[in-house]
Structure 1
Amino acid sequence: MQIQDLPYPDPGVPDARSGPRFLWWLGRNQLGGQLKALAWGLLHFVAVSAQPFCVGFAIEAVVDRSGSRLALTGALMVLCGAATAIGDTFLHRAAVTNWITAAARVQQLLARKASQLGSGLTRRVAAGEVVAVSTGDVEKIGWFVEAVSRFTAAALTVLLVCVGLVVYQPALGIVVAVGLPVLALAVLPLLPPATRRADFQREKAGRATELASDTVAGLRVLRGIGGEELFLDRYRGASQEVRHAAVRSARMWSLISAIQVLLPGLLLIAVVWYGVQLAREGRITVGELVAVYSSVMVLTYPLRHFEEIAMAYSFSRPSARRAAGVLSLERVTDAGGSRAADTPRGDLYDPVTGLLAPAGRLTAVVCGDPDAAGRLAERLGGHPAERGPSVLLGGVPLDELPLDCARTAVLVQDKDPVLLSGSLRDLLDVPDSGDVEPEAALTAAQCGDVLEALAQGSLDADDPMDALITERGRSLSGGQRQRLALARSLLTDPEVLVLDEPTSAVDSHTEARIATGVRSLRAGRTTVVFTSSPLLLDRADRVVLVHEGEVAALGVHRELLRTEPRYRAVVTRETDEEAALSGALVALDVDGEKKLNELKEIEETA
């Protein structure tokens, strides 16, 4: 896979059972790129390591006054230099390709998982953690996947050089062959504490990212209640914890780096001391001593990759664990579906609560618990939080439909819809939308003042449709964002539209006009609105009260308001004392009517 071929047609099915298994799966799926980087790495490292032998041969040629051998050695040095340059260039190219393609694969997997889970993702994983996984963690994972091939090439080079030194000069070669493994393994006892400190640092950094994400998302609310400084202080504290953890981790890694410098230096001193003794005794030549000395010096370069792979694994392991945790999440229902991808039509029925939304009608649902209302809205859209009987659309279970077909059939707009940055025209550019025009959707959602505000706030947009909306619509008020999101949902024109508190942030006059507009625009279409607003309830064809997880009453708004105390308590928000008084008045009214009928019967008898 080359960078220009991204994205992957299919990123594959990851092994998300654990972080190490996920890293191993990524490496196996990039075997071609890993082998290419390994080949170029071997060329580069071997060419670098061959230079000391060329220097030794050259010195021996000078001592022996052999011009032909000196010329041959010079040609070999030129060849090694060219091989070093070519190997380094293409190694870097292959390594960067492996890094980017591995990161791209992880990002595609995360995006696919987010698309499958929908709003259920942030209910099971904090939004800040998802951000941390898809940004910083992806880079750490790509780093380790890329570093494996370079480390393998460096390890093979060290092995080849040790064998070459033993053959070239056994007396000194044995010292180097014994000393180099000690150098490579000396830092192993320090890796577990270094890894624990790196894990702790990543945990603190992830927590700080989550806190920052949540703070930014709720900044407007925090300013409204005066809690901005409180959350900023919390973020400052979290940042200091990250800094302290990073310093502790850096101390351990600096100790490992110091050992990686100290031990090769000690080995170099031992080689020089022992080599000088052998040269005095005439057992080795000056050229051989210089060659062995230079080889030890040069081998510190590939040995640095032993430290890098340890760091890469230590930093990528917690990142891979978090990524695997997100990728291991599964939908309660199958995303593939077992039925043909045909959009069913008919009544929407939830067997868990007994809620029935007749086809082509506007059904309002009153639920005293907002969280329960949100879970029911998600279940109606085919996104249940737990396993159970599936919602039926026209008698067809939604969990038997392919995921894209189910989402096309039933669209759920939650109580906190998101507006992406871009122009209003881009926001309303909904693929596979129905016959609703953008102007009609904006009018039904009462977005006239929103268009005026966007036109006034944009200096270079003559048409309000070309005005830019900032990230998550932060430049707009809550009511304006809510109405734009409603217009986008109306424009989609799905077979079934489920709206969860679509007018909670608008005033009563605007709410009344929205109720009329939605009813008119959705005529003949199935619409379910979760609300406790009397203005919306009064315009619904059918009102359903859901109490303690099941349908408790149904009818029209004014009838339920008069006859159902639980409904009246939710809609009018009356206190317990007011509810008791209302019940007594209703009972008194019924009793008085009964006595009046008895008197009429007596008069007729008389």
Structure 2
Amino acid sequence: MNPSRRLLADVLRRRRRPALIGCLSSTVHQTCEALVPVAVGLVVARAVATGSTSAIAWSVAGVLALFAVLTAAGAYAFWTIDGAQLREAHHLRVAVLSAVLHRPPAAPVLRDGDVLSVATSDTRHSAQVIALLGYLVSASVGTVVSAVVLLRVDVLLGAGLLVAVPLLVLGLQRLAPRLERRVRTRQEAAGLAAATAADLLAGLRPLRGFGGVPEAVLRYRTASRTSRDAAVGAAGATAAVVGAGSLATGLLLVGTAAAATALAVRGRIGVGELVTVVGAAAFLADPVRTITSCVQGLAVARAGAGRVAALLADGAAPHPTADAAVRTSPAVAGTPAGAAVPLTLRGVSAGPLRELTLSAAPGEMLGVVTTDVALADALVGVLSGQRAREAGEVRLGELDPAVDPAGATGHLLVEPHAVHLLGGSLREALSTGAPDGTASGGRAPASLERALVASAAQEVVRARPAGLDEVLLERGANLSGGQQQRLALARALAADRPVLVLRDPTTALDAVTEDAVAAGLRALRHGQGSPAGRTTVVLTTSPLLLARCDRVALLTATGCRTGTHAELLGEDAYATAVLR
């Protein structure tokens, strides 16, 4: 089974109960709709033609009851199927996000636009298989009921429909692969255009600086034109399927009505049966259109499922959340989650980082200094498991974080320089997911209070009228860069990992605040009363932070030298990097 079909099968298995209930309800709805022409024909033949008042009254009551069942079943089918579809789309979006967050370092790089397209459009199309199959089955049953009714009226007429409708569906299926290819191309082109636009906006300031805006706009115009052409091609394929279905439906309706009229003229069927035949033929237009639409939709669903399946295949299996891993992940080489472990790098090479050997013992605060941004990026990428190593090994105790990121989560946290505050309030932005992380209402729990004090972020919270419940704008737009940096540091400290790696945590702070943060970080992680065995690695050029480190490593393109801050000040390269 190919990946797209396997994913769609998984969707149906997960939602089998609501899918089955919705399908049955929709089938009842379609069956009742198919019986409406029969009911009207009976009314004409046995009530209107005879003029019996009681027969007319009973006929009206029966038709009303039929419509009541029809309406209730249709509404319940829509409610059940739509709910299952929305829940499944949410499940797939979460799975896509998990796969993206846990992609192995060696996996191909994804562009933001591609991820956005898969996570929104393709997951929605994949989840629609629940509705498409339900409505396809019910429409088919409705068609069969109509055919049976017509068989009872006239065998040749019913047999003709039983042959014509399957041929119609099979003919439309022949168009589905072409439509699927066009839709896949459209989605990929749309993802490329979105990715190009995202890159353009992210780099707008430097583009303006060196005059690259015209070239960037030209590239986006090319990507957008490709996306437009793909969308036009997909629309043409869709129109071909819809047009073929509408034409076939019209021919089927006209042919059935003409045949029934001829039979009535010859006296082979009565007036009531003629009404039934014409009504059934008119009704057949609806299930045939539904079948056509479902065939088209299934092609779109397969195309979307293929893209979702490809992304999920590149990502790792679903992982627990960070703090769930603290509580449930297996021990690191026999060490309970949360216990102290050494961090060791042996002969690590990755990009500009060449044969680095470095270690941080439990309880040590280690500073790392480099003026080469590429070296710092490579080191942080290797430690976080987001960059593949060319050689060497990284060990957290006996565990390799890149091989088993879920197992390492309970012991290691790498806090990047870029600040990302997520959530609608400060309380949500500071949440670490721990049981006492940011309890709702009142004061923050003790662990967060200590982290806020250590990072000097308590002043940020106190300055807000609503405190921790202050509304946070998108990306913390109502906070200054320094305030965002302090809150991000507070969140990292509140997580309380045995090994904490920080990348330039104080670059947006003034000297006085930076000194307070340096003192608070040292006191919280390594001072009297702090948990035993906590290790902190700080990549920085701040002398205020480096002066409080037990040991400092000077990292250059030619090697690594370690010593204390005072000892390394005698080296020109170190002094140039840290003295300002």
Indicate the TM-score class for this superposition, using the shorter chain for normalisation.
0.7 to 0.9
Residue 185 of structure 2 corresponds to: 200
Residue 153 of structure 1 corresponds to: 138
Whether the 8 Å contact between 1:162 and 1:173 is mirrored in structure 2 is yes
Name the stretch that deviates more: 255-264 or 372-381: 372-381
Residue 500 of structure 1 corresponds to: 503
Q: 1:333 to 1:299 in 2, by over 3 A?
A: closer
Name the stretch that deviates more: 188-197 or 365-374: 365-374
1:165 aligns with 2:173: no
Question: How far does residue 36 in structure 1 lie from its aligned partner after superposition?
Answer: 0.7
CA distance in 2, matches of 1:221, 1:85: 60
Cα shift readout 1:519-551 (whole Å, capped 9, x = no counterpart): 344325421012345554454321224567x96
1:424 aligns with 2:403: no
SS of 1:261's equivalent? helix
Whether the 8 Å contact between 1:501 and 1:529 is mirrored in structure 2 is yes
Residue 96 of structure 2 corresponds to: 110
Residue-pair matches, total: 546
- Work out which of the residue numbers 51, 65, 74 in structure 2 matches 1:88: 74
| Aligned amino acid, residue 252 of structure 2 | L
SS of 1:132's equivalent? helix
Q: 1:466 to 1:66 in 2, by over 3 A?
A: closer
Question: How far does residue 49 in structure 1 lie from its aligned partner after superposition?
Answer: 0.8
Residue 252 of structure 2 corresponds to: 267
CA distance in 2, matches of 1:227, 1:517: 44
Question: How far does residue 25 in structure 1 lie from its aligned partner after superposition?
Answer: 1.0
Q: 1:259 to 1:331 in 2, by over 3 A?
A: closer
Residue 47 of structure 1 corresponds to: 32
Q: 1:352 to 1:19 in 2, by over 3 A?
A: farther
Question: How far does residue 437 in structure 1 lie from its aligned partner after superposition?
Answer: 6.2
- Work out which of the residue numbers 340, 343, 346 in structure 2 matches 1:351: 346
Residue 579 of structure 1 corresponds to: none
1:182 aligns with 2:167: yes
CA distance in 2, matches of 1:334, 1:34: 28
1:315 aligns with 2:306: no
CA distance in 2, matches of 1:266, 1:311: 20
SS of 1:397's equivalent? coil
CA distance in 2, matches of 1:105, 1:558: 54
Cα shift readout 1:84-105 (whole Å, capped 9, x = no counterpart): 1122121112221221222232
Once superposed, what is the RMSD of the aligned Cα atoms?
Answer: 4.2
CA distance in 2, matches of 1:26, 1:18: 12
Name the stretch that deviates more: 470-479 or 429-438: 429-438
Q: 1:97 to 1:384 in 2, by over 3 A?
A: same
1:342 aligns with 2:337: yes
Q: 1:447 to 1:224 in 2, by over 3 A?
A: farther
| Aligned amino acid, residue 142 of structure 1 | A
Residue 11 of structure 1 corresponds to: none
Cα shift readout 1:92-125 (whole Å, capped 9, x = no counterpart): 12221221222232234335445655x9699843
1:25 aligns with 2:6: no
Question: How far does residue 421 in structure 1 lie from its aligned partner after superposition?
Answer: 4.1
CA distance in 1, matches of 2:67, 2:7: 39
Question: How far does residue 197 in structure 1 lie from its aligned partner after superposition?
Answer: 2.5
Task: Give me the TM-score of the superposition, normalised by structure 1.
Answer: 0.76
| Aligned amino acid, residue 104 of structure 1 | H
Question: How far does residue 170 in structure 1 lie from its aligned partner after superposition?
Answer: 1.2
1:470 aligns with 2:456: no
Question: How far does residue 260 in structure 1 lie from its aligned partner after superposition?
Answer: 2.3
SS of 1:529's equivalent? strand
1:527 aligns with 2:530: no
CA distance in 2, matches of 1:513, 1:226: 41
Question: Which residues in structure 2 correspond to 1:252-401 (within 5 Å)?
Answer: 252-331=237-316, 337=330, 339=334, 341-353=336-348, 354-366=357-369, 370-380=373-383, 385=388, 391-393=394-396, 395-397=397-399
| Aligned amino acid, residue 92 of structure 2 | V
Larger of the two Rg values belongs to structure: 1
Question: Which residues in structure 2 correspond to 1:503-582 (within 5 Å)?
Answer: 503-506=506-509, 511=514, 514-524=517-527, 525-533=534-542, 536-546=545-555, 552-557=560-565, 559-560=567-568, 562=570, 568=574, 571=577
CA distance in 2, matches of 1:140, 1:332: 22
Whether the 8 Å contact between 1:344 and 1:396 is mirrored in structure 2 is no
Q: 1:229 to 1:539 in 2, by over 3 A?
A: farther
Q: 1:190 to 1:381 in 2, by over 3 A?
A: closer
Q: 1:348 to 1:274 in 2, by over 3 A?
A: closer
SS of 2:129's equivalent? helix
Q: 1:288 to 1:165 in 2, by over 3 A?
A: same
Question: How far does residue 301 in structure 1 lie from its aligned partner after superposition?
Answer: 0.9
| Aligned amino acid, residue 424 of structure 1 | L
Name the stretch that deviates more: 520-529 or 67-76: 67-76
Identical amino acids, percent of aligned pairs: 31
CA distance in 1, matches of 2:116, 2:241: 31
1:138 aligns with 2:123: yes
SS of 2:344's equivalent? strand
Question: How far does residue 162 in structure 1 lie from its aligned partner after superposition?
Answer: 2.0
Question: How far does residue 357 in structure 1 lie from its aligned partner after superposition?
Answer: 0.7
Whether the 8 Å contact between 2:81 and 2:130 is mirrored in structure 1 is no
Q: 1:542 to 1:249 in 2, by over 3 A?
A: same
Q: 1:92 to 1:230 in 2, by over 3 A?
A: same
CA distance in 2, matches of 1:424, 1:99: 33
CA distance in 2, matches of 1:279, 1:362: 96
CA distance in 1, matches of 2:178, 2:576: 57
Residue 591 of structure 1 corresponds to: none
Q: Please, which runs of 5 or more residues in structure 1 have no aligned partner?
A: 1-14, 456-460, 574-606
1:35 aligns with 2:20: yes
Q: 1:415 to 1:332 in 2, by over 3 A?
A: farther
CA distance in 1, matches of 2:521, 2:212: 36
Q: Please, which runs of 5 or more residues in structure 2 have no aligned partner?
A: 321-328, 349-356, 438-443, 528-533
Question: How far does residue 294 in structure 1 lie from its aligned partner after superposition?
Answer: 1.5
Question: How far does residue 485 in structure 1 lie from its aligned partner after superposition?
Answer: 1.6
CA distance in 2, matches of 1:333, 1:505: 36
CA distance in 1, matches of 2:81, 2:510: 58
Q: 1:502 to 1:361 in 2, by over 3 A?
A: same
1:484 aligns with 2:492: no
Whether the 8 Å contact between 1:158 and 1:299 is mirrored in structure 2 is yes
SS of 2:367's equivalent? strand
CA distance in 2, matches of 1:91, 1:463: 45
Question: How far does residue 243 in structure 1 lie from its aligned partner after superposition?
Answer: 4.4
| Aligned amino acid, residue 302 of structure 1 | P
CA distance in 1, matches of 2:480, 2:205: 9
Residue 352 of structure 2 corresponds to: none
| Aligned amino acid, residue 134 of structure 1 | A
Whether the 8 Å contact between 1:337 and 1:400 is mirrored in structure 2 is no
Cα shift readout 1:462-481 (whole Å, capped 9, x = no counterpart): 36655433222234444443
CA distance in 2, matches of 1:522, 1:123: 37
Q: 1:535 to 1:331 in 2, by over 3 A?
A: farther
| Aligned amino acid, residue 553 of structure 1 | R
Whether the 8 Å contact between 1:166 and 1:177 is mirrored in structure 2 is no
CA distance in 1, matches of 2:317, 2:380: 15
